[in-house]
Structure formats: structure tokens, C-alpha cells
């Protein structure tokens, strides 16, 4: 359903972009004293990215369902 870039879907690339962006934004938390804060923020980022990927999939399925309904009604 998602647009393919080679053998890997667009959402796979988007997910990894969000994770890499997280590391760039929060690299100051990569210390031994702030490791728990860092892990909490990392898990929050992963959960947010997974939810965004799920939401994107739901939107794509909804658009495809609407497009099929419109094309069926025009025939």
C-alpha cells in the first residue's frame, strides 16, 4: 500500500528518519547520568514514530477505499 522505494516502503524510511532525527536532537542526553531520561525519550520517540506510521497506513487505506467507491459509482 505504501509507496515503494526499491524493496523498502516509504514508511520504513520515514521511521528511520524520525529515529535518526531524535538522536541528533537529543545527543546531549547520551551521558551516564542522563541515561534513564534518554531511554525514556527514545522510547517515546519510537512509540510516536510507530503511531505516526500506523496513522499514515490508516489514511492511505481510507483514501484508497474512497477512491474505489468513487470509481465504482462512476461506472
Domain ranges for the chain, please list them. 4-74
Percentage of the chain with pLDDT > 90? Answer: 0
Q: Which residue has the higher pLDDT, 27 or 46?
A: 46
Task: State which H helix or E strand residue 32 sits in.
Answer: none
Q: Which residue has the higher pLDDT, 20 or 31?
A: 20
d(Cα 57, Cα 1) in Å, to the nearest integer?
A: 8
The strand pairing partners of 8, in sequence order, are 5
Mean pLDDT, the chain, rounded, equals 72
pLDDT at 10 exceeding the cut of 70: no
pTM for the model stands at 0.49
Q: Answer whether 33's CB lies under 8 Å from 68's CB.
A: no
| DSSP reduced 3-state for 33 | coil
Amino acid at each position: 500500500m505504501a509507496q515503494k522505494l526499491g524493496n523498502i516502503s516509504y514508511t520504513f524510511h520515514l521511521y528511520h528518519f524520525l529515529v535518526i532525527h531524535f538522536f541528533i536532537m537529543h545527543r546531549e542526553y547520551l551521558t551516564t547520568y542522563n541515561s534513564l531520561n534518554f531511554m525514556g525519550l527514545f522510547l517515546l520517540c519510537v512509540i510516536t514514530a510507530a503511531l505516526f506510521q500506523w496513522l499514515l497506513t490508516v489514511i492511505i487505506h481510507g483514501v484508497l477505499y474512497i477512491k474505489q467507491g468513487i470509481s465504482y459509482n462512476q461506472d
